[in-house]
Amino acid sequence: MIVCKPNSSVQIVLFTLLAVAYGITFLLIGYVAGGHQSVWLYIGAVVSIIFSILFTVKVLTGYKTLSIEKDKIAVKYLFRTYSFHTKQLSSWEEIEIKTYNNQVFKQIDLIFGQQKVSFNSQEHSNYDKLVQFLRKNIKKIS
C-alpha cells in the first residue's frame, strides 16, 4: 500500500501563514472597532479579511492524499473522496522543472477521465514510491 500525503513541515508553514493573516486581520479590525478613523485602516481591514478567507479556502481545498492498494486508487480531499480502478487512469505524466538555482521541481499529473490530480515531491511524502508504482504497473500514455 502506498500513501502519498502532505508533509507535516509544509502544513506547519501553511497554518503559520494562516495564523499571521488572521492575526493581521483581527488587529486591523480591533483598530477600527477601537475608534481609529482612517480610510487606510478600513481598506486594510477589508483587504485582509478577503485575503484571509481566500487563503483559508485555498489551503483547505488543496489538502489531498492518495492511497493505492493493488488495483484501487483513492484520492481523498478534506471533504470528499474519489475512488478509481487503476484501469480508469487514462494518462499520467511526470514533469521536471529546473529552477534558477538548479533545483529540480518534480510533479506528477494523474488524469482520471475529466479529473486531474497533481502531486509533487516537495509537498507530498512517498512521491518516489508513487512514481515507481506507475512506471512498473501502468503504461505511460501521455
For 22, the domain range is 7-61
Q: Distance (Å, rounded) from C-alpha 103 to C-alpha 99?
A: 5
- The tens digit of pLDDT for each residue in 68-115 reads 988 899 999 988 998 988 888 888 888 998 888 888 889 999 988 888
pLDDT of residue 16 exceeding 90, the answer is: yes
**Mean pLDDT, all residues of the chain:** 89
Q: Which residues pair with 106 in a beta bridge?
A: 96
Question: Are 107 and 44 found together in one domain?
Answer: no
Question: Are 86 and 131 found together in one domain?
Answer: yes
Question: Are 119 and 77 found together in one domain?
Answer: yes
Question: Are 75 and 27 found together in one domain?
Answer: no
2 found inside a domain: no
The pTM score is 0.75
17 found inside a domain: yes
CA 101 to chain centre: 23
How many domains is the chain built from? 2
Q: Does residue 79 contact residue 64 with C-beta atoms inside 8 Å?
A: no
Q: Distance (Å, rounded) from C-alpha 23 to C-alpha 41?
A: 15
Question: Are 11 and 45 found together in one domain?
Answer: yes
Amino acid at residue number 39: V
CA 117 to chain centre: 10
